Amino acid sequence: MLIKTASFALFFIAIAGPAASHAASAGALAASSGAASAPTITVQGTGGVSVAPDQAVITLDSIRFASQLDAAKRANDTSTERVFELMRRYGIQPRDIQTQKVSMDILREPGDRDEDFELRYSRPVRGYLVSRKMIALLTDLRRFEAFYAEVLQSADCEVGNVVLETSQPRKYRDMAREQAIRAAREKAVAMSGALGQTIGKAVNITEEIDRYGSSTNGSIEVGARVDDTGLFAPGQVMVTASVSVTFVLN
């Protein structure tokens, strides 16, 4: 009789154990669901810092043509060396000069655009085109106008692009981000206040990144930066940041 009682007790515990566990799990799930369903408000904020640019990124292209590839390459090397010498005269350091791209192309006699592949590439060769794209960083904008004018008059290269920018984008982006955070909080306070509520702690913060993978870096193309007298006027560049913040609603 004692054995049967013990067996019944053990059987009862085995049945009750999973039931208790299931009840505890259900309680935890309910608590979790309650926390997850807390009302929130999500707002966006933007900030910007206007700063004078202090450097220029200049893209230069050296292009040479010759009937023989070796001759075209030698001509391009010679032109490139003269461009490097021009950069050095204006204080551009070797560490601030980068060769971005070198290309060599075959130029053939013109023909029918609709001809097939084999005919197109069997036309006589006119010569070879060797080009080199260089990027230079000019850190003294007081010398920009003279450098730009000399490059434009040079037979060794063409100006591809000029961008004015700040040398401290991280510093000003951090400042812009702080402004964006404050703007987002002020917006959340105003919106919740209109509903008779207040905001609690932030539960999510996301920095908005543009499609190029970064915030606005504080740069502008130089084409529009000329005043009424035709003199170089660097003006201001804007460093911006945007954030999205989610607050708990009380």
Residues 6 or more apart whose Cβ sits within 8 Å of residue 169:
217, 218, 239
DSSP string spanning 107-163? EE----TTS-HHHHTTSPEEEEEEEEEEEEEE--GGGHHHHHHHHHH-SS-EEEEEE
Q: How confident is the model at residue 218 (pLDDT cuts 50, 70, 90)?
A: low
Tell me how long the chain is: 250
Express as a percent the part of the chain with pLDDT over 90: 50
Predicted pLDDT at 120? 66
Which of 75-79, 158-162, 228-232 tops mean pLDDT?
75-79
Which of 31-35, 114-118, 212-216 tops mean pLDDT?
114-118
Statement: residue 11 has pLDDT above 60: no
| Each residue's pLDDT tens digit, 110-161 | 766 656 666 666 788 899 999 999 999 999 998 998 998 898 888 888 888 8
Predicted pLDDT at 111? 67
Q: In a 10 Å sphere around its CB, with 0-12 CB exposed, 13-18 middle and 19+ buried, how is residue 151 labelled?
A: buried
Dihedral (Cα; 188, 193, 195, 200), 10-degree rounding = 60
Contact of 201 with 41, CB cutoff 8 Å? no
Contact of 234 with 164, CB cutoff 8 Å? yes
Q: In a 10 Å sphere around its CB, with 0-12 CB exposed, 13-18 middle and 19+ buried, how is residue 20 labelled?
A: exposed
Among 149, 174, 195, which residue's Cα sits nearest to residue 241?
174
Contact of 47 with 208, CB cutoff 8 Å? no
| Each residue's pLDDT tens digit, 161-211 | 888 889 998 999 999 999 999 999 999 999 999 999 999 999 999 998 753
Express as a percent the part of the chain with pLDDT over 70: 71
Helix, strand or coil, per DSSP, at residue 193: helix
What's the CA gap between 13 and 4, in Å, rounded? 14
- Name which residue leads in pLDDT, 227 or 147: 147
Lowest mean pLDDT among 47-56, 70-79, 115-124: 115-124
Across 52-124, where does the E strand assignment appear? 55-66, 97-108
Predicted pLDDT at 30? 43
Residues 6 or more apart whose Cβ sits within 8 Å of residue 71:
none
Among 99, 94, 91, which residue's Cα sits nearest to residue 55?
91
- Partners of 76 in beta bridges: none
Q: How confident is the model at residue 86 (pLDDT cuts 50, 70, 90)?
A: very high
- Name which residue leads in pLDDT, 173 or 3: 173
